[in-house]
Chain A
Amino acid sequence: MRAAVVVFPGSNCDRDLAVAFRAAGAEVEMVWHKDSALPEGIDMVGIPGGFSYGDYLRCGAIAAQSPICGAVRAHAERGGYVLGVCNGFQVLTETGLLPGALLRNAGLKYICRTVGLKVETSQSDFTSAYNAGDVIDIPIAHHDGNYFADADTIARLQDEDRVAFTYTDNPNGAQADIAGILSPNRRVLGMMPHPERAADAGHGGTDGVALFRALAGALATA
C-alpha cells in the first residue's frame, strides 16, 4: 500500500496517522495542502484530524477548497481509497465526497475520551478484519462530531449498509448514533473516532490496528 497523508495548517494528527499506516506496512508520503497533485501511484489518502485553517467559517470548510482537495476528489472519483478521521471526516463532508455534516456536540462540550464503537459492517476494506457486531474501544476528541443528515440520507446509508461504526453510548447527539460512514463504492470512510490513537500498546489500546492491517492487506496487491 502506498499512502499519502495530507497536511493542512492546523492538522495535528497527521504524523500519528502516518505512523499507523507505516506500522501496517504502508509506504507513506506527506503532502502539503498547497500541492495540486498527489504523488504517482498512491492507493490511499489519509485526511488527518486537527483544526485545519483554525476551523474558520466551519470545520473543514476552507480545507475542502484547498488545492490538494481537488486532487483528493479526483483520486476518489477514480476509485481510490480515502480515510478521513475527525477533522478529516468534516473535510470529506464539506467536499461532498460523503453526505451529511458534523454539528456542534449536543452537550456543547469538547469530549476527549475512549468510547465503545459497534462495527456495523465488515463489508469494506476498512472493516473486513472485524466482525459486524464487534464492539471496539477507540478514542474520540472533538467539539463538532454530531453527525447530521436528513432522514432520507440516514435511511439510504442504513439501507445500503454504509454505516461503518455506531457509538454504543452516543456521546455527541449524532443521528442514529453514527460515528463513521462509507461512500457508495465503500472506498471512502469518514469517522469521528481516532483509530490511529489505538494502534500501539503504548496508546493504552490496540483496537484500531485491525483497520490499518485490513487496508494494507487489501491494497498489498493493488
Chain B
Amino acid sequence: MKARVHVMLKNGVLDPQGEAVRHALGALGFDGVNGVRQGKVIELDLAEGTTEADVTAMCEKLLANTVIESYAVELA
C-alpha cells in the first residue's frame, strides 16, 4: 500500500519561496496569480496493515514540523 503526505506551511506563515514563484509567473506574463504557496509531497511505500494512525504519527514525529507546517494524509 502507499500513502501520500502533503506538507504545507500553515496559513499566516510567510512563504518567501512561494512569493518568488508568484513574481516569476508575473514576469512571464501570467497575470492574475494572486498568491502561490509551495509545499512538498512525500510518498510512502508501506507494508500492508499500516494504518492511517501510523502515518499520522510519522507526520507528527518527523515528516512535518507542526510549529510551522500542516499536513494531510492520503492513503492509496
Residue in B closest to A172 when the chains form the complex, CB atoms:
B16
Contact of B67 among A106, A107, A149 (CB under 8 A): A149
Annotate A101-135 by CB proximity to B: 1 below 8 A, 0 otherwise. Answer: 10111111000000000000000000000000000
- Tally of A interface residues using CB under 8 Å: 20
- Could you tell me the distance between the alpha carbons of A105 and B63 in the complex, rounded to whole angstroms? 21
- Bits for B12-52, please: 1 = Cβ < 8 Å to A, else 0: 01101100100000000000000000000000000000000
CA distance A146 to B61 in the complex (A): 22
Please state if A61 and B65 are interface contacts (CB–CB under 8 Å).
yes
Is A14 an interface position by the 8 A CB rule? Answer: no
Q: Is the CB of B65 within 8 A of A148?
A: no
> Which residues of A have CB within 8 Å of B62?
57, 61, 65
Q: Which of the listed residues B17, B62, B63 has the most CB atoms from chain A within 10 Å of its own CB? A: B62
How many residues does chain B have at the interface if contact means C-beta atoms less than 8 Å apart? 11
Which residues of chain B are within 8 angstroms of A105 by Cβ–Cβ distance? 16
Provide the bound-state CA to CA distance between A107 and B65, in Å. Answer: 22
B68 CB-CB contact with A under 8 Å: yes
Residues of B within 8 A of A149 (CB): 67
- The yes or no answer to A217 lying at the interface (CB within 8 A) is no
Q: Is A94 an interface residue (CB 8 A)?
A: yes
Q: A57-B62, A61-B62, A65-B62 are in contact. Are A100 and B17 (CB under 8 A)?
A: no
Asked if A104 and B67 make an inter-chain contact with CB atoms under 8 angstroms apart, the answer reads: no
Q: Does A58 contact B (CB under 8 A)?
A: yes
Q: Are B63 and A57 in contact (CB under 8 A)?
A: yes
Chain A residues with CB under 8 Å of chain B are: 57-58, 61, 65, 93-94, 99-101, 103-108, 146, 148-150, 173
Q: 22 A–B contact pairs at CB < 8 A? A: A57-B62, A58-B65, A61-B62, A61-B65, A65-B62, A94-B65, A101-B65, A101-B67, A101-B68, A103-B14, A103-B16, A103-B68, A104-B16, A104-B17, A106-B14, A108-B17, A146-B14, A148-B13, A148-B67, A148-B68, A149-B67, A173-B14
